[in-house]
Structure 1
């Protein structure tokens, strides 16, 4: 009798362990560690060299221009870096992967666009400009579309999540040059303009996947490569 009880307890323990392991593997979405990305990590020395090159070749030009267009007694200090906390990056990756899955499209790359905040207190839609005149960047996920790697957003078309290329104008020009008149492509990929005011994405009817609003330096502080703001 004792042996049967022991065997039953062992069997129950093994089943519980297997079920727990399966649950852990299904809820853990992180990729297994496979070492650093191949040919993507640079040395600290190379980073310092590239940083110094920007300091010599770009910073003085930006300072000179900004000081010339704004009559301000305070000398302009160009942005040297922007940062996100790790949880924000993880949340962003999870977000764009979820949206891409909903639209049945694969994310090819993350494209980093250099940008600049306007010299004003608010954007045209009323949002506050957090860093007037400051250099920044924003991140756009890309997908395969007509043989090209293009940035995209998400729209609901006929009740269906649809991946929408950001740049409509480039595709339109190519089609005009070819003198071809084609219907809208079927499936989960349609065209839409990024900077065109009559699109659903610009008006807020779509879902943007563009990451911005990082923490920009300066404000004053000393960075990792010796720049004292």
Structure 2
């Protein structure tokens, strides 16, 4: 939904320069990595989820998530537009492994599309005081500002700072802002991508375990 009000024409396709150096792997390596996950992670996930299933159902671990190409292009255009508005440069895209809750609804009432399933979400990062940090956007005193998501994960700040400066207690394990507001509310803009299609079930894997 947050794509609809953005102008996708702000994105410029980079010139073709061949494959990204040192980032393309062979099909054989992909198969080996897929099989390693099948052997070392899938049985553990399945055993745990089956053990806590109140209805005795069998759990099939997620093996991939996907987005159509146009959504990815639109997402890149969106985050580049928002970063430009806030006068920051996007450094990287972080792919956080995650899990949908075992519930039909999130606390805010949104529907959980894939209860209990593994997923990932994508967070763009910016440079902040020598660190590479995920960010969100907020209008502060009329200025569109990029702020670190995990304010408490940044060191060396005083508690008597202005609203637009991250605060100082250290919590390296935390992800989201630790302030009076537990979640991003009105007046903030998220640039985190999620809710692609996850499989199985149903799905067709390129490397085995088709469902």
Is this a same-fold pair by TM over 0.5? Answer: yes
Matches within 5 A, 1:122-161: 122-161=105-144
Distance 1:99 1:200, change over 3 A: farther
RMSD: 2.3
Structure 1: which 5+ residue stretches go unaligned? 1-25
Report which of the two structures shows the higher radius of gyration computed on alpha carbons: 1
2:26 counterpart residue number: 43
The structure 2 residue matched to 1:105, chosen from 88, 112, 117, is 88
Name the counterpart of 1:16. none
Q: CA separation in 2, counterparts of 1:30 and 1:61?
A: 42
Matched residues, number = 196
The answer to whether the 8 Å contact 2:138/2:189 transfers is yes
Deviation of 1:29 (Å): 1.6
Distance in 2 (CA, whole Å) between partners of 1:28 and 1:209 is: 15
The answer for the alignment partner of 2:204 in structure 1 is: 222
> Is 2:15 the counterpart of 1:32?
yes
Question: Residue 86 of structure 1 corresponds to which residue in structure 2?
Answer: 69
Q: Structure 1 residues 28, 128: CA separation in 2 closer, same or farther (over 3 Å shift)?
A: closer
Corresponding residue number in structure 2 for 1:175: 156
Q: Distance in 2 between matches of 1:40 and 1:150?
A: 22
Alignment match, 1:10: none
| Aligned twin of 2:185 | 203
Equivalent position of 1:53 in the other structure:
36
Q: Does 1:166 align with 2:164?
A: no
Change (3 A) 1:201 1:208: farther
Shift of 1:184: 4.0
CA distance in 2, matches of 1:221, 1:103: 39
- How far residue 181 of structure 1 moved from its aligned partner, in angstroms, is 6.2
In structure 2, the CA distance between the partners of 1:124 and 1:195, relative to structure 1 (3 Å rule), is: farther
Q: 1:134 to 1:190 in 2, by over 3 A?
A: same
Q: Which runs of 4+ in 1 moved over 6 A?
A: none
1:13 is matched with which residue?
none
Question: How far apart in 2 are the matches of 1:216 and 1:197?
Answer: 32
Please name the residue that 2:165 is paired with: 190
Name the TM-score, length of structure 2 as normaliser: 0.86
